[in-house]
Amino acid sequence: MDSNVRPQDMKRIDNIELANQFIDEQIKIVRKQVGDKKVLLALSGGVDSSVVAALLVKAVGKQLVCVHVNHGLMRKGESQQVIDVFQNQLGANLIYVDATDRFLDKLAGVDNPEQKRKIIGGEFIRVFEEEARKLEGIAFLAQGTIYPDIIESDGVKAHHNVGGLPEDMQFELCEPVKLLYKDEVRVVGKALGLPDDMVYRQPFPGPGLGVRCLGAITRDRLDALREADEILREEFDKNGLAGKVWQYFIAVPDIKSVGVKDGKRYEGWPAIIRAVNTIDAMSATIEEIPYTLLHKITDRITHEVDGINRVLYDLTPKPIGTIEWE
């Protein structure tokens, strides 16, 4: 039987009991597969890699080596959360790499979206490879592959998993959640004790804020984007929209307009709110946000974030507009 095909009689994991049963089964499978060898995992902090990390910590403990690469394009507080949850709470063997300067220097002056994606993806592989070469006894590469990845690509999705490692670095794959759908992965994550804001984290592109800081990335505009995005997430949390809206974020284009601050004219960037609902990401509808809340978000962003003097709301569904701007 093909190990990449979900058995027809496999129950949908939709409760804690089934999740715990799945966890127990996978712990046995992983221990048998890994033995006394070491496992390497690129831990992004996303749902899939976080659930795999928590599961493998439970199965093989310190034999798992997690590498978290901060490329400087994370949302506010995300890298710190990875450290807090996995290193401080779960006692995972975690290597944290702050490669912010390295990535942003490579991206300086690059405004083509696809080129930005290639630089971010390629540099991530190089950083991960450098860290992997420092380690000894690694025999397995763990990945957060889930069933839609296999269905969509008939194998490994390069933007989702660590593809492209050199041929002399051959690892056997360990993919404990590869037969699960995203909703099942979340239930397993809850059963493993991961925090809700990690388990129910909204989709986040691999290039991170790199494709939301539109055009050539500058540090000041990236910082403004990160702060504005944090305000949007805070207000959605407070007003009950976080669990209702599939994806919501800020995009900041490389354009300026005239504004007024402290009685003087000044130029600032616009912050564009995107909030959509979708089932399969092939099409998306616009969330109706109350105007009172939009006014509050606008007031906070324009008063609390340096460099932003306007807030816009993107009313374009998919099609015609894609979910991300780049």
Instruction: Decide if pLDDT at 200 tops 70.
Output: yes
**Tens of pLDDT, residues 291-312:** 999 999 999 999 999 999 999 9
Instruction: Decide if pLDDT at 157 tops 50.
Output: no
Pairwise CA distance, residues 326 & 213, whole Å: 9
**Tens of pLDDT, residues 117-131:** 999 999 999 999 999
Q: Can you spell out the DSSP letters for 221-264?
A: HHHHHHHHHHHHHHHHHHTT-TTT-SEEEEEB-S--EEEEETTE
Residue 31 parent element (H or E): helix 16-34
Q: How confident is the model at residue 168 (pLDDT cuts 50, 70, 90)?
A: confident
Is residue 281 within 8 Å of residue 319, measured between CB atoms?
no
Pairwise CA distance, residues 236 & 268, whole Å: 24
**Tens of pLDDT, residues 38-77:** 999 999 999 999 999 999 999 999 999 999 999 999 999 9
| Mean pLDDT to the nearest integer, 225-237 | 97
**Poorest-pLDDT segment among 104-108, 240-244, 253-257, 268-272:** 240-244
Determine the length of the chain.
326
- Structure-derived torsion over alpha carbons of residues 245, 246, 250, 254, reported in degrees to the nearest 10: -140
Structure tokens at 120: 């971010």
CA distances from 71 to 122, 137, 217, 275 (A): 12, 26, 13, 25
**Tens of pLDDT, residues 8-27:** 889 999 999 999 999 999 99
Return all residues near 251 (Cβ < 8 A) that are at least 6 apart: 212, 213, 214, 225, 271, 272, 274, 314, 325
Sorted by where each starts, the structural domains of the chain and their CATH numbers stand as: 16-199 (3.40.50.620), 212-313 (3.30.300.10)
Q: How many CB atoms lie within 10 A of CB 156?
A: 16
Pairwise CA distance, residues 49 & 273, whole Å: 27
Is residue 297 within 8 Å of residue 231, measured between CB atoms?
yes
Is residue 105 within 8 Å of residue 219, measured between CB atoms?
no
Instruction: Decide if pLDDT at 279 tops 70.
Output: yes
| Mean pLDDT to the nearest integer, 149-163 | 54
Is residue 235 within 8 Å of residue 275, measured between CB atoms?
no
